[in-house]
Amino acid sequence: MAMRWLSRLAAADAVPVFPVVGENGLAAAENLFLDPRLRPVPSPRHARVLLVLGETGQTLNRQLRRLHDQLSHPRATLWCDAVPDPDFGRATESSDTADAVVEAYRSMFAGAMDTEPDIHPNEPPNEWRGKGTNGQGGDGMMGGTPYGRPMAMTDDDLRDGLQLDAYSATFGPFLPAFPPGLALDITLQGDSIQAVSVSHPPFRQETDHSRTGSLRNLARLLRVLGVPALAARFIAAARKLEDGGTIDLDVLARAFDWSGAMHIIPSDLGSFGGEGRDVRSRVRAWLNIARGRQEPAPLGQPALSFVDLVKGLEWYEAVIVLNSFDNNALRNLCPVENTDDQTEEAPQ
Partner 1 sequence: MSMLACVILLLLLIFGTLFAAILDTAIPAWIAGQSGANPLTTPFRRCAQFLAVQRLTTERPDMLNWLLAPAAYLILAGIGLGVVPLSEGLVFIDLQTGLVLWGACEALTVVVVFLHGWSANAPFPLIGAYRYVAIGLPAMLVSMFVVIGVALPAQSLSVSAAVEAQRGLWNIVKQPLGLPLFMLLGLSLTLRGPFDYADPFDLAAGTSAEDSGPLRASWRFARLAMLVSFSTMAATLFLGGHHGPGLPGPLWLALKAAGVMTILVALGHVIARTTPSRMLTLLWVLFLPLSFLDLIIAGVESLP
Site residues for partner 1 per CB under 8 A: 3, 6-7, 9-10, 12-14, 16, 34-37, 41-43, 45-46, 48, 70, 72-74, 109, 124, 135, 147, 167, 169, 175-177, 188, 190-191, 222-230, 232-233, 236, 255, 258-261, 264-266, 269, 314-317, 319-320, 347-348
Residue 251 or residue 303: which is nearer to partner 1 going by CB? Answer: 251
| Separation CA 21–CA 182 (nearest Å) | 11
Q: Give the residue from 230, 348, 347, 209 showing the smallest Cα distance to 289.
A: 209
DSSP for 156-204, written as a single string: E-TTT--EEEEEEEEE-SS-TTSPTT-EEEEEEETTEEEEEEEEEPPPP
Measured between alpha carbons, how far is residue 61 from residues 58, 84, 127, 233 in Å?
A: 5, 10, 21, 33
Residue 90 or residue 263: which is nearer to partner 1 going by CB? Answer: 263
Q: Give the residue from 225, 179, 200 showing the smallest Cα distance to 21.
A: 179
CB of 37 within 8 A of CB of 49? no
Nearest distance, CB of residue 285 and partner 1, angstroms:
18
| Separation CA 296–CA 154 (nearest Å) | 46
SS3 332: helix
Residue 191 or residue 308: which is nearer to partner 1 going by CB? Answer: 191
Residue 198 or residue 321: which is nearer to partner 1 going by CB? Answer: 321
Residue 53 or residue 222: which is nearer to partner 1 going by CB? Answer: 222
| Separation CA 322–CA 334 (nearest Å) | 11
CB of 43 within 8 A of CB of 72? no
Which one-letter amino acid corresponds to residue 104?
A
Residue 86 or residue 140: which is nearer to partner 1 going by CB? Answer: 140
Residue 91 or residue 264: which is nearer to partner 1 going by CB? Answer: 264
Pairing of strands 49-53, 15-21: parallel
